[in-house]
Structure 1
Amino acid sequence: MNRPLDPGHPADFARDRLLDVLVPTRNRPAELAVTLSGLAAQNSPPGFGVVVSDQSDDGPSWAEPAAATMARVLRHQGHPVLLTRRLPRRGLAEHRAFLLEKSRARYVMFVDDDVWLEPGAPARMLTAIQRLGCGFVGNAVHGLSYADDVRPETHRHYEEWSGPPVAEQVRPGTPEWDRARIHPAANLLHITERLALGRDEWRAYKVSWIGGCVLYDRARLIAAGGFDFWPLLDARHQGEDVAAQLAVLERYGGAGILPSGAFHLESPTTVTDRDVEAWEVILADEGR
């Protein structure tokens, strides 16, 4: 039997660091272990921090043996790890706001608890955001069970940035909003295969929003409001990441990055109450 797991120390996250990875989780001990294993497989950047916040109905997912072992592996490699609980649940946006408050890093990467990142993915995203100078970059997730389901009609929504991303106001009903159609299933994987990128090559493309794995310039995310809109929402919502990204896009621009090293575990959702789209509430509140 393994020994009790030290949850870590908030003081380790009150100092400057290049990158913190923020992982919200609920009722997914096996999936969380896979997500953490992907982080432990990264060779760079050195010393990134990891914050996991759990809202499970019973004990925390990070205390289960597989997830606890991966947390210990990360610490053994020199990564500070903070394991927290955030109860009672007040919704996805409040949970992300809580995680964001824990970090003082230059960049923060939100990774869902059902995403595995291949080696090199965070380093590639860091290179991209530093070169592009925008508010966020993202790796949309691949669903490999759809690898043989090619949907060429979605590929027309793929458009690369020819230079640094510029600020955009993206709203429903516009062609820009339809960019999100390239992200479901394995559409982005098929586009990447068509591009036949060489080793160490990557491309930045235009997005409306990205789910699953997004790297933010933390200061710019906060300046755009972060997730502080959560009190406006019923706890039963989704689309909080969309609302935050629309605000960052409007001020600083953003991009998707190919190749994506993010793979969706395709587990059943733990967010079963989705009565409200957060971005609809926020846009209505802003009168736009």
Structure 2
Amino acid sequence: MTARWSGSWAEPTDPARGVDVDVLVPTVGRPAELATTLAGLAAQVEVDLRLVLSDQSAGGDAASEPAVAAMLRVLEAQGRPVTLLTHPERRGLAEHRQFLLDHATAPAVLFLDDDVWLEPGSVARMLDALRSTGCGFIGSPVQGLSYLADRRPAETAVFERWDGPVVPEVVRRGTPAFDRWSLHNAANPTHLAAALDVEPGGWVPYRVAWVGACVLYDREALETVGGFGFWPALPPEHAGEDVVAQWRVMERFGGAGILPSGAVHLEAPTTVRDRRVDAPDVFFDQGEVIPR
């Protein structure tokens, strides 16, 4: 089933309706960006999804902002379940992601940052890629369209598509695979997609170092490797928690990015200012996994 069109918005919601994807959105103090993110979600009419929104804003009042509240009402009118959570304890990014994951029940979970707008059809493409490849996660890299005129061939030279099955692989700092991080700078994904000449609605899987801000996981695969349950080993001020989770999933189940990406970064100021602790450096050492 797909999202209900506006002619059916006044009808009662079917409580037995299934959900393909739980969209997990952490937010703190960015109502304008969050409203834009939710508007993008409302345009994902081809997939049955549930929104799980966890608010760490002062007062836990993000959902009361008029634009945010309006988009939440649209999702509910479309027949999409909405779960609103407040999580005032600030124990770091990894803990907040684990908190969201603990509330997920769908077979696939999309971790979506609160400053990403999605082109219509983006989640459907990601879900099709996840099911078709059978791997552990599919990422849609976010694009900064203010850089559209800034072409960076030196950064995109490491692009390599998956021509066969997506298989497990190991990525570590200092390995050639790690150099793929540059693929997602600025508008690089936009330029790469233009060179692929993909039919509308299609997608091409490619090898990644990791993908930030918009990643669809097979929930069972993510939970098999522990999810973000490693958070107690990190100080509250850290970054790179998504890298740790993705590297662990990649080693067991494989992972990929897809192009074209419909994910657009809103280019708002970051809320993560203290990045002195990079989570991969805590859990991985010289190419080997530190025992958990």
TM interval, short-chain normalised: over 0.9
* 1:22 matched residue in structure 2: 24
Asked if the contact 1:91/1:234 (under 8 Å) is kept, the reply is yes
Asked if the contact 1:14/1:103 (under 8 Å) is kept, the reply is no
Distance 1:238 1:252 in 2: 23
- 2:44 alignment partner AA: Q
Aligned residue for 1:222, secondary structure, equals helix
1:81, CA displacement in angstroms? 0.4
Distance 1:194 1:116 in 2: 23
* 1:188 matched residue in structure 2: 189
The TM-score with structure 1 as length reference comes to: 0.92
* 2:140 matched residue in structure 1: 139
* 1:278 matched residue in structure 2: 279
- 1:286 alignment partner AA: I
| Residues paired across the two proteins, number | 276
Within a 5 Å distance, the mapping from 1:21-60 to structure 2 comes to 21-46=23-48, 48-60=49-61
Q: Does 1:97 align with 2:78?
A: no
Distance 1:64 1:75 in 2: 16
Within a 5 Å distance, the mapping from 1:73-222 to structure 2 comes to 73-222=74-223
Distance 2:138 2:83 in 1: 24
- 1:103 alignment partner AA: A
Aligned residue for 2:120, secondary structure, equals coil
Distance 1:87 1:201 in 2: 40
The change in CA–CA distance for 1:143 and 1:44 in structure 2 (over 3 A counts) is same
The change in CA–CA distance for 1:59 and 1:18 in structure 2 (over 3 A counts) is closer
The change in CA–CA distance for 1:210 and 1:13 in structure 2 (over 3 A counts) is farther
* 2:232 matched residue in structure 1: 231
Distance 1:157 1:14 in 2: 46
The change in CA–CA distance for 1:75 and 1:112 in structure 2 (over 3 A counts) is same
* 1:268 matched residue in structure 2: 269
Distance 1:173 1:234 in 2: 24
Distance 1:25 1:13 in 2: 27
Aligned residue for 2:246, secondary structure, equals helix
1:18, CA displacement in angstroms? 1.5
Structure 1 residue ranges (4+ consecutive) displaced by more than 2 angstroms after TM superposition: 12-17, 57-60
Distance 1:173 1:287 in 2: 20
1:42, CA displacement in angstroms? 1.4
- 1:41 alignment partner AA: A
1:143, CA displacement in angstroms? 0.0
1:64, CA displacement in angstroms? 0.7
Distance 2:15 2:92 in 1: 24
Asked if the contact 2:60/2:86 (under 8 Å) is kept, the reply is no
Distance 1:263 1:275 in 2: 26
Distance 2:200 2:18 in 1: 32
Structure 1 gap segments, 5+ residues each: 1-11
- 2:23 alignment partner AA: V
1:14, CA displacement in angstroms? 12
Asked if the contact 1:137/1:255 (under 8 Å) is kept, the reply is yes
* 1:250 matched residue in structure 2: 251
- 1:231 alignment partner AA: P
The change in CA–CA distance for 1:243 and 1:13 in structure 2 (over 3 A counts) is farther
Distance 1:212 1:130 in 2: 20
Distance 2:90 2:15 in 1: 23
1:201, CA displacement in angstroms? 2.3
The change in CA–CA distance for 1:178 and 1:231 in structure 2 (over 3 A counts) is same
1:275, CA displacement in angstroms? 2.5
Per-residue CA shift, 1:190-236, capped at 9, x if unaligned? 01111121223210000110001000000000001100000000000
Aligned residue for 1:84, secondary structure, equals strand
Structure 2 gap segments, 5+ residues each: 1-13
